[in-house]
C-alpha cells in the first residue's frame, strides 16, 4: 500500500470541501446567527486539516488550523461575522485552493502564506490556539471512550508465536487505537499506523481484517497484537504521534492455560491445520516482508461476522479511461453502420435479424456511455455565488445571484469548456448591466440588483440563460460606437445593432476596468460557444434588463444527422438544427436587396445555396431540396441537391491540417469513406 493511491481521493475531497466552505461562508455572512452553519464550517475545516496532515501537507494543515482559530472565536461569540472577516476567510480559502492546485499539477511553486497567516492572527487575540486545542482535542477522546473495544481472541497458533517471540526477548502488546470521529480517510490513517508500528516490530493479528481496513469497512477502532523490542510507553508514543488518533490503550499480552479454553469453536476447528503447518508459518512470519504478511492475512469467521456494511454504490473512474470507452463505442457504431450498408447492398436478408439486435445493443451501450459522461451544471455553477459576492463588494453595488436548473446535465467535454464564457457574461452583467444603488432607487427599482442564471433542457440541447434586471443595452449607443469604428449600420434593426457587441474588440464602455476588461470578452464568449456547436442570442430592453441565451448540444460525440448531397459530395447535417425539409420550387424564391429569400408560410426566410458557399459544382437540372434550419433566433433555408436519409454518426475531429475549415465541425466515416459534417451555425 502506498500513500500515492490516496492522492486523487485527497485532491477531489479537498476541492469538494473548499467548495462547501465557500458556500457555507456565503450563507453565514447572510445569517450570522446560524449556529448549525457555523458548526458545519468548523467540521469541514477540521476534516480538511486532518486530510492534509494525513498526506503530509503541513502548510495546508497549518493554515487550516489558523482558520479554525478564527472560527472558534465565532463559535464562542468573541468575534462577530462581518464582511471584513469573511473576506479574509475567503482569501484564506483562495490560498488553500492555490496550494491544492499546485499539488495536483505537481508544480514546485511555493504558495506564500505569511501574509494571510498574519491577517488571521490579527483577527485573534493570540491565545486562541491553546484554547482551541483544549476545546477541540481534549473532549474528543471522551467521546470515543464509549466505543466498544473489540477483544482479540488468540488461538493456539498465535499463542505459540508470541511465546517464541518472548523467548527471544520481544514484548507482546494488545493495542486498541481510537480514531477521531471526523476522520475522513480512515484507510489511509490505518495504513500510517501499520507503517509506523512495523518500523519497530511485527503485527501478527488485527481486528478488523486488513481487507476491511483497505475498503474502509470498519468503525473508528482498530485492535492489534504487536511484537516489538520497544517498551509499552514507546509504543504508546509512536501511535499517539499520528494525527487524528484520539486515544491509544496498550496492554501487555498475558495468557495462561485458560486462554486456550477461551478460544471459539472456529479457532478449535482450525487449530489442527494450523499446528500442522506451524513451522512453515513461523518461517513466513520471520522471513516475509512485513507488509506482505499483514495484507495477505485472511479474515477469520469471527472477525468478518462483526462487519456487514453496505458496499460502496459508486466508484471513481479515471476520465482518460472514460474517453477511451467512448471512442470504442464510437468505433462500434461506425462498424455497425458499415455492416448495415453491406447487408443492404448484397441483400443478405438472413443477416437482418442479427444486425437489428446488434443495433439495439450498440444503441443501449451508446446511451449508457453518454449518461456516464454526463455531469450536472452544478459543478460549474457552484463557483458563481462567491464571484458575485466579491464583485458586489468590489463595485459597491448590492447584487443577488439567483440560480435555477443546476441539475441540468451536459457532456463532460461541454462542462469543461462552458465555465469561461459564463464568467464573462456574469461579470458583464454585474459591471455593465446592474446599475448603482442610487440609480436603481431613482428609477423606482429594487435597490438590490438581480442576476439570474437559469438552465434547462430543450430537446437535444441544453439552454443556459444569463439575465439581469439592469439598464439594458441601448441600440443607439451601439450604433454610434459602430459608426466611429467604421462599421456600416445601414438597414440594421435594434436586434442586429445589439448583436454587434459580439464583434472582436467592440465595447461601449468608456473606461477600462478590472472587472469587465477591454471589450475582448463578448467575442471570446461567442467563439467558445460556437466551437462547442452552440449558439448565443441577445435579448435586451432599456431599463428592463438584458438576457444572453446560450444553446448547447447535450453531447459532442455521437449525433443523429441527415445525410445530403451537394454536387457529388455527401455531407451530414445535425438534426438538432433542422426544423423541416421542403421541395425546391423556382417560384418560391424571391430577391430582396440583391439577396435570395424564400416565402415560407407567412415568413420571409433567407436562402443559402450550399454549393456556392462550399465552392462545389452542381447539376442545375437535378431535383433539389430546401432544408429549413434554425440557429438560435435565426431561421434560414439551405439548398441541397438530394437527401440520403437519416443516420447516426460519430463526430471525429478534422485534425491540425484542416482545422481552419470553419464550414465543418468534423467528419465521420460512412461505408469506409470520410464524410464531412457541416457547421450550420457557421454557414448561417
Which residues form the catalytic set?
A: 46, 68, 428
CB 667 within 8 A of CB 677: yes
Strand pairing of 634-640 and 603-609? parallel
Asked if the peptide bond before residue 159 counts as cis, ω within 30 degrees of 0, the response is no
Q: In angstroms, how far is CA 180 from the centroid of its own chain? A: 28
DSSP H helical segments within 468-559, as ranges? 475-484, 494-498, 521-531
Q: Report the SS3 class of residue 79.
A: coil
Q: How far apart are CA 568 and CA 619, in angstroms?
A: 9
Q: How far apart are CA 137 and CA 297, in angstroms?
A: 34
CB 414 within 8 A of CB 552: yes
Q: How far apart are CA 31 and CA 36, in angstroms?
A: 11
Q: Would you put residue 511 in left (φ > 0), alpha (ψ -120 to 50) or beta?
A: beta
Torsion of CA 442, 444, 446, 447, to 10 degrees: 10
CB 656 within 8 A of CB 576: no
CB 461 within 8 A of CB 559: no
Q: Where are the beta strands (DSSP E) in 378-448?
A: 399-404, 409-411
Residue 201: enclosing H or E segment and its boundaries?
strand 201-207
* Strand order, beta sheet including 245-252: 201-207, 221-228, 171-179, 245-252
DSSP assignment string, 214-235: HTT-S-SEEEEEEEESS-HHHH
* Strand order, beta sheet including 558-566: 642-650, 558-566, 569-574, 673-678, 664-670
Strand pairing of 589-592 and 595-600? antiparallel
> Which of 347, 168, 141 lies closest to 246 in space, CA to CA?
141
Q: How far apart are CA 613 and CA 571, in angstroms?
A: 13
Torsion of CA 522, 425, 511, 471, to 10 degrees: 110
Q: Report the SS3 class of residue 573.
A: strand
Amino acid at each position: 500500500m502506498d500513500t500515492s493511491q490516496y492522492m486523487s481521493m485527497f485532491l477531489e475531497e479537498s476541492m469538494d470541501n473548499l467548495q462547501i466552505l465557500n458556500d457555507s461562508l456565503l450563507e453565514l455572512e447572510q445569517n450570522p446567527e446560524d449556529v448549525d452553519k457555523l458548526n458545519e464550517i468548523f467540521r469541514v475545516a477540521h476534516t480538511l486539516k486532518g486530510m492534509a496532515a494525513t498526506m503530509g501537507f503541513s502548510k495546508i494543515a497549518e493554515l487550516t488550523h489558523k482558520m479554525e482559530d478564527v472560527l472558534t472565536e465565532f463559535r464562542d461569540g468573541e468575534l462577530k461575522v462581518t464582511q471584513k472577516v469573511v473576506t479574509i476567510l475567503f482569501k484564506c480559502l483562495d490560498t488553500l485552493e492555490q496550494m491544492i492546485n499546485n499539488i495536483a499539477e505537481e508544480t514546485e511553486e511555493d504558495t506564500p502564506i505569511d501574509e494571510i497567516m498574519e491577517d488571521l492572527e490579527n483577527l485573534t487575540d493570540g491565545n486562541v490556539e491553546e484554547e482551541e486545542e483544549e476545546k477541540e482535542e481534549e473532549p474528543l477522546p471522551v467521546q470515543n471512550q464509549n466505543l466498544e473495544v473489540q477483544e482479540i481472541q488468540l488461538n493456539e497458533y498465535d499463542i505459540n508465536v508470541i511465546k517464541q517471540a518472548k523467548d527471544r526477548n520481544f514484548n507482546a502488546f494488545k493495542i486498541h487505537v481510537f480514531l477521531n470521529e471526523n476522520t475522513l480517510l480512515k484507510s489511509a490513517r490505518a495504513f500510517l499506523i501499520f507503517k509506523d508500528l512495523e518500523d519497530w516490530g511485527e503485527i501478527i493479528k488485527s481486528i478488523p481484517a486488513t481487507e476491511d481496513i483497505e475498503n474502509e469497512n470498519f468503525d473508528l477502532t482498530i485492535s492489534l497484537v504487536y511484537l516489538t523490542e520497544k517498551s509499552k510507553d514507546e509504543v504508546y508514543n509512536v501511535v499517539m504521534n499520528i494525527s487524528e488518533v484520539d486515544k491509544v490503550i496498550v496492554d501487555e499480552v498475558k495468557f495462561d492455560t485458560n486462554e486456550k479454553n477461551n478460544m471459539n469453536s472456529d479457532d478449535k476447528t482450525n487449530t489442527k491445520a494450523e499446528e500442522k503447518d506451524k513451522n512453515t508459518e513461523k518461517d513466513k512470519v520471520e522471513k516475509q516482508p512485513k507488509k506482505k504478511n499483514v495484507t495477505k492475512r485472511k479474515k477469520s469467521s469471527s472477525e468478518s461476522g462483526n462487519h456487514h456494511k453496505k458496499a460502496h454504490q459508486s466508484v471513481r473512474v479515471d476520465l482518460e479511461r472514460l474517453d477511451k470507452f467512448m471512442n470504442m463505442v464510437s468505433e462500434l457504431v461506425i462498424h455497425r453502420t458499415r455492416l448495415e450498408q453491406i447487408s443492404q447492398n448484397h441483400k443478405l436478408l438472413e443477416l437482418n435479424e442479427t444486425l437489428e439486435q446488434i443495433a439495439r445493443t450498440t444503441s443501449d451501450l451508446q446511451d449508457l456511455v453518454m449518461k456516464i459522461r454526463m455531469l450536472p451544471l452544478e459543478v460549474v455553477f457552484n463557483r458563481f455565488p462567491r464571484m458575485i459576492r466579491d464583485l458586489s463588494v468590489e463595485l459597491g453595488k448590492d447584487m443577488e445571484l439567483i440560480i435555477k436548473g443546476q441539475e441540468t446535465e451536459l457532456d463532460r467535454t461541454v462542462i469543461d469548456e462552458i465555465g469561461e464564457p459564463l464568467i464573462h457574461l456574469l461579470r458583464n452583467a454585474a459591471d455593465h448591466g446592474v446599475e448603482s444603488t442610487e440609480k436603481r432607487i431613482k428609477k423606482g427599482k429594487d435597490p438590490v440588483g438581480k442576476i439570474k442564471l437559469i438552465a434547462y433542457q430543450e430537446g437535444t440541447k441544453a439552454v443556459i440563460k444569463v439575465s439581469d434586471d439592469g439598464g439594458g443595452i441601448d441600440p443607439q449607443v451601439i450604433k454610434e460606437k459602430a459608426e466611429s469604428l467604421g462599421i456600416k449600420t445601414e438597414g440594421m434593426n435594434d436586434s442586429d445593432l445589439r448583436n454587434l457587441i459580439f464583434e472582436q474588440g467592440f465595447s461601449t464602455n468608456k473606461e477600462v476596468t478590472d472587472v469587465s476588461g477591454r471589450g475582448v470578452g463578448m467575442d471570446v464568449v461567442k467563439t467558445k460557444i460556437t466551437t462547442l456547436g452552440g449558439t448565443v442570442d441577445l435579448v435586451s430592453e432599456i431599463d428592463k434588463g438584458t438576457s444572453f441565451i446560450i444553446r448547447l448540444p447535450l453531447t459532442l460525440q455521437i449525433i443523429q444527422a441527415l445525410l445530403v448531397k451537394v454536387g457529388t459530395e455527401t455531407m451530414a447535417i445535425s438534426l438538432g438544427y433542422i426544423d423541416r425539409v421542403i421541395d425546391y420550387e423556382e417560384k418560391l424564391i424571391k430577391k430582396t436587396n440583391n439577396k435570395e429569400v424564400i416565402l415560407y408560410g407567412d415568413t420571409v426566410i433567407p436562402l443559402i445555396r450550399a454549393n456556392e458557399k462550399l465552392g462545389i459544382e452542381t447539376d442545375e437540372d437535378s431535383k433539389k431540396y430546401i432544408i429549413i434550419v434554425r440557429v438560435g433566433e435565426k431561421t434560414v433555408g439551405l439548398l441541397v441537391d438530394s437527401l440520403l436519409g437519416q443516420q447516426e454518426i460519430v463526430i471525429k475531429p478534422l485534425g491540425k491540417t484542416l482545422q481552419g475549415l470553419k464550414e465543418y465541425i468534423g467528419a465521420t466515416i460512412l461505408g469506409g469513406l470520410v464524410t464531412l459534417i457541416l457547421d450550420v451555425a457557421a454557414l448561417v
